[in-house]
Amino acid sequence: MTDLRFAFRRMRTLFLILCACFFSFGILQAGPIRIVAYGDSGVAGKGVPKNETYPAQLEGMLRKKSFDVSVTNAGVNGRTSSNALTNLDAAVPAGTAIVIVQFGV
């Protein structure tokens, strides 16, 4: 249960940071906001349904707050931080406003 609370706190913190970025930099006026969540199995959602992955939940939370966003889940089971940079360009398409990079410990 502690892991779930920690994950929820991290996601809530990330949500608040993204909201602050949207307002601070005027991203909201630029049309649909493209966000890419890039990382390992924690991002990919290993073992959970697709609609329960953290990128899917983040998109849902932002849409509930009336943000026009699209969050792409670019997480891959088994990806490591050592090979992350070699795959980053392919995972982040042009026009992406925000990239969230997350790797486990």
Inter-residue contact 68 to 31 (CB < 8 Å): yes
Q: What CATH number did the domain enclosing 60 receive? A: 3.40.50.1110
Provide the Cα torsion 42, 48, 51, 52; round to 10°: -70
DSSP 3-state helix, strand, coil percentages of the chain (rounded to 5)?
55, 20, 30
Q: What is the mean pLDDT of residues 54-77?
A: 92
- The model carries a pTM of 0.73
Q: What is the pLDDT of residue 92?
A: 92
Q: What is the pLDDT of residue 5?
A: 61
For the chain, the domain total comes to 1
Domain that holds residue 70: 2-102
Name, of 2-6, 69-73, 76-80, 91-95, the range with top average pLDDT: 69-73
Given a cut of 90, is residue 15 above it in pLDDT? Answer: no
Name, of 4-13, 59-68, 76-85, the range with top average pLDDT: 59-68
CA atoms within 13 A on the CB side of 44: 14
Task: Give residue 18's Cα distance to chain centre.
Answer: 10
